[in-house]
Amino acid sequence: MTRRSLVANLAAQLVTEGHDVRLIDRRPKARQMLSPGFPGAFHVGNGFSRAVLEAAGIVHADAFVAVTSGDNGNIVSARTAKDTYRVPIVLASIQDPHRADVCRELGIPTISSVRLTGRQVTEFDVDGEIRVVEITRAGRSLLPAHGVLAESGDLVTFSVTATALGRLGGFLDKELGT
């Protein structure tokens, strides 16, 4: 599963939960990843372009999540949403720990991947706050399902509300013994 298909699955789930979802992607073909009846909006362009952000309705956004494959673009997009448009909840997907530190210094919570083993992946979910959204195993992406155990070498990706970041951090510290 690619990052774009993961984002498409997450967008569909958020719509199902009643959220107004708007996606921005530089590639027009990325729209094809969404289900044919997807009720959210899709905008073609760069996620840190003010014109594109405004066309997508950022001035009315309650939350903004930057989840491209590039840390730098995610930082710029998230900072623009937070500082320019004063979006209340802003998250950025960051893989490099040094860049994650920069985000935290800017007051932007980060989404990253942490290695975990030995538990059912659905045990990590907390309704409305924390959700496992992907398991990468042996280079293949899997959607979390009831009964699926985290295995040694799995990469588990979480989606977390801003208010639950501390809770997840404490949980991971305990699980990882850090």
At 50, which CATH number? 3.40.50.720
Q: How far is 146 from 61, CA to CA, in rounded Å?
A: 32
Angle between helices 71-79 and 97-105 in degrees, nearest 10: 10
Tokens 């990843």, located at residue: 33
Q: Read off the pLDDT of each residue in 39-63 and give the average, rounded to a whole number.
A: 94
164 vs 45, residue with greater confidence? 45
Mean pLDDT of the chain: 84
What is the pTM assigned to this prediction?
0.64
Give Cα separations from 111 to 37, 107, 140, 165 (angstroms). 28, 13, 20, 9
**Which CATH number is 175's domain given?**
3.30.70.1450
Is there a single domain that holds both residue 139 and residue 128?
A: yes
Is there a single domain that holds both residue 129 and residue 174?
A: yes
pLDDT of 177 above 70: no
**Residue 45 contacts by C-beta under 8 Å, 6 or more apart in sequence?**
24, 26, 51, 52, 55
pLDDT of residue 7: 80
pLDDT of residue 23: 93
Alpha helices in the chain (DSSP H): 3-16, 50-55, 71-79, 97-105, 165-176
Is there a single domain that holds both residue 76 and residue 25?
A: yes
- SS3 of residue 56 by DSSP: coil
Neighbours of 153 (CB within 10 A): 10
pLDDT of residue 178: 46
Is there a single domain that holds both residue 31 and residue 119?
A: no
Q: Are the CB atoms for 88 and 144 separated by under 8 Å?
A: no
pLDDT of 102 above 80: yes
Report the range out of 51-55, 100-104, 116-120, 173-177 with the highest average pLDDT.
51-55
Q: Are the CB atoms for 38 and 11 separated by under 8 Å?
A: yes
Q: How many domains does the chain have?
A: 2
Q: Which domain holds residue 134?
A: 113-178
* Least confident among 10-19, 21-30, 70-79: 10-19
Percent helix / strand / coil, the chain, rounded to 5: 40, 25, 35
The encoded tokens of residue 137 equal 């195993």
Report the range out of 26-35, 53-62, 156-165 with the highest average pLDDT.
53-62
Is there a single domain that holds both residue 105 and residue 145?
A: no
Neighbours of 31 (CB within 10 A): 15
Neighbours of 130 (CB within 10 A): 17
pLDDT of residue 57: 96
Is there a single domain that holds both residue 85 and residue 6?
A: yes
Domain boundary among the residues 111, 135, 157 is at: 111
Q: Read off the pLDDT of each residue in 101-129 and give the average, rounded to a whole number.
A: 79
